Amino acid sequence: MTKAAVVILAGTESHADVGRLVNGLEAAKEFAETDGDEVELIFDGAGTQWIPELEDEESDYHELYQAVRDDAAACDFCAGAFGVEDAVNETGVVTLDDHDGHPSVRSLVGDDYEVITF
């Protein structure tokens, strides 16, 4: 059994950012599809900007996102800082604020998750 926390930090501004997003979603999907594995997909920092885009059925990556959406969460502080707080809240994606308004990476490590950032 493997426990992985895939953290999407890449914003929406460049082709390289899209590449990191897609690689992160693919990694999360691989863990989600493997029996016995556990995955947490966390959109943090500028990565929170992706959630409203990925929720759009017209997005090129909507289907890939849907494959892991049930495992997704977003940083509460960063959603506000990057101007997508209302849009994230409308999606119903869980927001995390365990450590000063941010997800607790320490808790993930303490729970034996491998933390992978994109």
pLDDT digits (tens, 9 = 90+) for 6-52: 999 999 999 999 999 999 999 999 999 999 999 999 999 999 999 99
Strand arrangement, sheet containing 72-75? 94-96, 72-75, 38-43, 3-8, 114-117
Please give the backbone phi and psi of residue 6, each rounded to the nearest 5 degrees, phi first.
Answer: -95, 120
Phi, psi torsion values for 44, nearest 5 degrees: -130, 160
CB neighbours of residue 112 within 10 Å: 10
Q: Cα dihedral sign for 35, 72, 69, 64?
A: negative
For residues 98-103, average pLDDT: 97
Q: How confident is the model at residue 92 (pLDDT cuts 50, 70, 90)?
A: very high
The pLDDT > 70 percentage for the chain reads 100
CA dist 113 and 41 (Å) reads 12
Q: What is the DSSP pairing of strand 3-8 with strand 94-96?
A: unpaired
- Cα(28)–Cα(98) distance, integer angstroms: 22
Give the pLDDT of residue 49.
Answer: 98
pLDDT of residue 115: 98
Global pTM?
Answer: 0.97
pLDDT bin (cut points 50, 70, 90) of residue 104 is very high
Summarize the confidence of residues 114-118 as an average pLDDT.
98
